[in-house]
């Protein structure tokens, strides 16, 4: 006998409960969630960093489906005009998501327009699930500088690749710190590294290792930002990034040097990967 749809769903839940050992209600909820489309958080965060810096409407590879789901949810909340529902996570979409984050009571870095785990999940309630979840983790001290644990893990791996220690001149969450940093260190994921005692080849090797593990990294000289020679590194896809650091990462993907003049990238060429991509996730 063929069951009508209204009866088939409870039966499916009971069968799922028998197979999984969970309650019928939980099984039904799991079935409902499985039926929803998903947003790849890693790809969506990446698009939110790159797309606002593009001079055209090229879409970030692998992000279109998730971005469209986010934009449709924002549109249905009357936070984004329908004409911007295009799979392109530009400045208008960033601003709309920041407004949604503020509506949840978030402020500061939690309302920076990058899709965070909580805001993305709340936006997608009943509409989509969130996969490949990422987050900066708690704040810790590394050599007296504050960073988040994701950044700490990336630095540890870069040190392993190099076989040498790295000394931080400046960490993250340094709002109101050195004005020459132009706000890039106000949020998470950003560090400045000393090059004291390094020759030219070693400096390049350090930048290359940082890039390999998921940083947008450059060797800076005093003519560029009024600091002594150092390496500036911003962790791609850190959801605590300041808006200035977001722009640097977008420019890095576009082959630029992360400075206000948006000159060509002057660092060693590597395959650009996030920390999660480096780990093979």
Query: Which pTM value belongs to this model?
Result: 0.86
β-pairing, 38-40 with 129-131? Answer: parallel
pLDDT in tens, the chain (281 residues): 444 444 444 444 443 444 445 555 565 555 555 799 999 999 999 999 999 999 999 999 999 999 999 999 999 999 999 999 999 999 999 999 999 999 999 999 999 999 999 999 999 999 999 999 999 999 999 999 999 999 999 999 999 999 999 999 999 998 866 666 678 999 999 999 999 999 999 999 999 999 999 999 999 998 876 678 999 999 999 999 999 999 999 999 999 999 999 999 999 999 999 999 999 97
Please identify which residue in the block is written with the tokens 């004409």.
83
Domain ranges within the chain, ordered by starting residue: 5-35, 38-131, 139-278
| Helices assigned H by DSSP within the chain | 5-20, 24-35, 41-50, 64-76, 91-103, 117-123, 149-162, 200-212, 222-225, 243-253, 275-278
Asked if 238 contacts 153 with a C-beta cutoff of 8 angstroms, the reply is: no
Structure tokens at 52: 């606002």
Please identify which residue in the block is written with the tokens 């984004």.
80
Nearest-10 Cα torsion for 178, 220, 207, 58 = 90
* DSSP at 41: H
| CA nearest neighbour of 55 among 253, 265, 235, 240 | 253
Report how far residue 62's alpha carbon sits from residue 240's, in angstroms, rounded to the nearest whole number.
Answer: 22
Asked if 151 contacts 141 with a C-beta cutoff of 8 angstroms, the reply is: no
Asked if 65 contacts 89 with a C-beta cutoff of 8 angstroms, the reply is: no
- In this structure, is the dihedral angle defined by the CA atoms of residues 206, 207, 212 and 217, taken in order, positive or negative? positive
pLDDT at 25: 53
Report how far residue 69's alpha carbon sits from residue 261's, in angstroms, rounded to the nearest whole number.
Answer: 34
């Amino acid at each position: 006998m063929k069951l009508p749809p209204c009866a088939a769903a409870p039966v499916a839940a009971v069968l799922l409960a028998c197979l999984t050992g969970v309650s019928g209600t939980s099984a039904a909820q799991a079935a409902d969630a499985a039926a929803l489309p998903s947003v790849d958080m890693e790809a969506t965060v990446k698009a939110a960093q790159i797309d606002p810096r593009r001079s055209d409407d090229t879409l970030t590879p692998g992000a279109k489906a998730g971005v469209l789901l986010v934009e449709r949810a924002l549109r249905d909340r009357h936070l984004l005009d329908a004409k911007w529902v295009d799979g392109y996570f530009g400045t208008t979409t960033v601003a709309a998501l920041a407004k949604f984050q503020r509506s949840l009571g978030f402020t500061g870095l939690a309302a920076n327009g990058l899709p965070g785990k909580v805001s993305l999940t709340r936006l997608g309630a009943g509409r989509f699930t969130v996969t490949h979840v990422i987050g900066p983790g708690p704040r810790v001290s590394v050599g007296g500088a504050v960073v988040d644990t994701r950044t700490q893990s990336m630095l540890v791996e870069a040190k392993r690749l190099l076989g040498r220690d790295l000394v931080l001149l400046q960490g993250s969450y340094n709002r109101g710190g050195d004005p020459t940093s132009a706000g890039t260190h106000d949020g998470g994921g950003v560090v400045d590294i000393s090059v004291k005692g390094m020759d030219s080849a070693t400096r390049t090797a350090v930048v290359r290792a940082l890039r390999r593990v998921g940083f947008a990294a450059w060797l800076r000289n005093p003519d560029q930002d009024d600091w002594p020679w150092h390496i500036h590194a911003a962790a791609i896809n850190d959801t605590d990034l300041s808006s200035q650091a977001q722009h640097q990462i977008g420019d890095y993907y576009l082959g630029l040097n992360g400075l206000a003049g948006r000159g060509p990238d002057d660092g060693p060429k590597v395959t650009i990967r996030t920390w999660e991509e480096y780990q093979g996730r």
